[in-house]
Amino acid sequence: MTDEISITGIRATGFHGVYDHERRDGQEFVADVVLSLSFAAAAASDDVADTVHYGEVAERVAAILAGDPVDLIETVADRIATAVLTGWPLVDAVTITVHKPAAPIPVPFGDVAVTVRRSRA
């Protein structure tokens, strides 16, 4: 059985993009994170040490969103997934969605997002 922790709407200003103005001016990026793990130990102990501290995960995600610039949000999503699986051994799998709501698209749109799913297997 797998349980999930969801953290949605993590925001940070980043400088990702293929265009010079994106790298120069930056823009807001938003990430949603779903962590798959068992809650059995945490439910039995009622101790945060037996689960994943979602505040710490959110801080790490925001740091990556605001971190070293890359061209693609696909790369940002993969960096977040790798960081979560590396940093929190209780997490069996992770789903990361990175949104770029101010993407330079010349027509009206609501959002642009990419999603990656990674697991320890």
% of the chain with per-residue pLDDT over 90 = 97
Domain count, the chain: 1
CA distance 98 to 115: 7
Catalytic residue among 35, 91, 100, 116: 100
- Residue 44's domain spans which residues? 3-119
The stretch 30-52 carries a mean pLDDT of 97
106: pLDDT strictly greater than 70: yes
Mean pLDDT of the chain: 96
The stretch 61-85 carries a mean pLDDT of 98
Report the CATH number that the domain containing residue 111 is assigned in CATH: 3.30.1130.10
Backbone angles phi, psi at 12, to 5 degrees: -160, 150
For 23, the token pair is: 């790298």
4: pLDDT strictly greater than 90: yes
1: pLDDT strictly greater than 80: no
84: pLDDT strictly greater than 80: yes
* SS3 (DSSP) at 104: coil
| Known catalytic residue at 43 | no
pLDDT at 2: 85
In terms of DSSP bridges, do strands 93-99 and 27-37 run parallel, antiparallel, or are they unpaired?
antiparallel
Please count the residues of the chain.
Answer: 121
